[in-house]
Structure formats: structure tokens, C-alpha cells
Structure 1
Amino acid sequence: MPINYSITHAIALNMIWEKQFYVTANREWKVKVRRTGNRGRYLKISSYPDYKQSLRASADKYKSYLQITSDEWEVFYRTAKGLKDSRARAILDKLVGI
């Protein structure tokens, strides 16, 4: 059981939510919704399954990440928690340049 506790504890500290998959322009994208102490709220977006393209988008103006609004981050947070939001695809299209 210590392994499960460590995983749960790490997730609670870093606030990493489940991956979401989206298809845009015949490409599948994996989005991880994260919130950490030093980076704040951000999305980690990778092409799937090849992982050849990846980017990060921050709602808290972290470094050189792409900038998103708090509302845009919240859309992905809610979808990671199981709520459907039709705006997620439009936001992702904007971020990946489609």
C-alpha cells in the first residue's frame, strides 16, 4: 500500500488531473491539466501517440509558456473532472495553431 499512498500524495501536492484526448485536424492530442506551486496553472499538451509535438500553456504567465486565460484553463480542468465543455476543442485548436 505505500506505493498507492505515495502516488496519491504526489498527485494531491501537484494537482495533476487525468489526461484528455482531443482530435483536431486528423491529429490526436493529449492534454494534462496541472497546477503546481512554482508554475501555477498550466496545460501540458502533446501530440499522441508520437509525442513529436508538445507545448505548455500557462494561465499564470509562467516563463515562455503560451498564455491562456484563467477561464480557458478552467475549461480543461472541468473536462478532466468529467464535465463536458464544447469550448475545449476551440481552445485547443487555437493553441496548436489550427
Structure 2
Amino acid sequence: MSDDYEKRKQLLEEIKLLTKIEQEGIFRILKSTNSLYSENSNGIFFDLLKLNTETFDEMKQFLDFCKQNRQAFEDREKEERIAQEMLHN
């Protein structure tokens, strides 16, 4: 399988792990790039293999941003827990 196919398959797996708000960010990218998608009561659907390179790259950047944001949030929560424990000891 091609490297591009594997990258797109990985992107799909990462999209599945996003929160609803983050998934809405993916939808905004689809809309802003005039990418084809369909919508019904089950959600929004699009073909990752048909996305142009620019849209794919924009989605990848957004996913990287989400991961960094999530990690920063977890780090802040950990620091807050440690500070709370220090206050109570």
C-alpha cells in the first residue's frame, strides 16, 4: 500500500478519537475547502482518499493542534493536582 494511503488511514483513526467539538473543526475544514461530503441523521461523511493534498494537510495540522492542546490541558491538570496536594499536606 502507498505511503499516502497509510497516512490517510492513520488520519481516519485519529479523527475517530476526537471530541464532538474537535470533529466540528474537521467539518469546518471540509466546508471552507469546498470538499465533498454528505450529511444525514447519522453524521457527516467524506472520502479521505478523495481529499486534495491541501485539505488533508490542513486536517493533519488541526489534529496535531488538538493533540498538543489536549496534552497541555492534561499537564495543567497534573500541576494543579500536585499544587492541591501540597496545600493539603
Bigger fraction of residues in strand? 1
Bigger fraction of residues in helix? 2
TM-score, with length taken from structure 1 = 0.30
TM-score, with length taken from structure 2 = 0.32
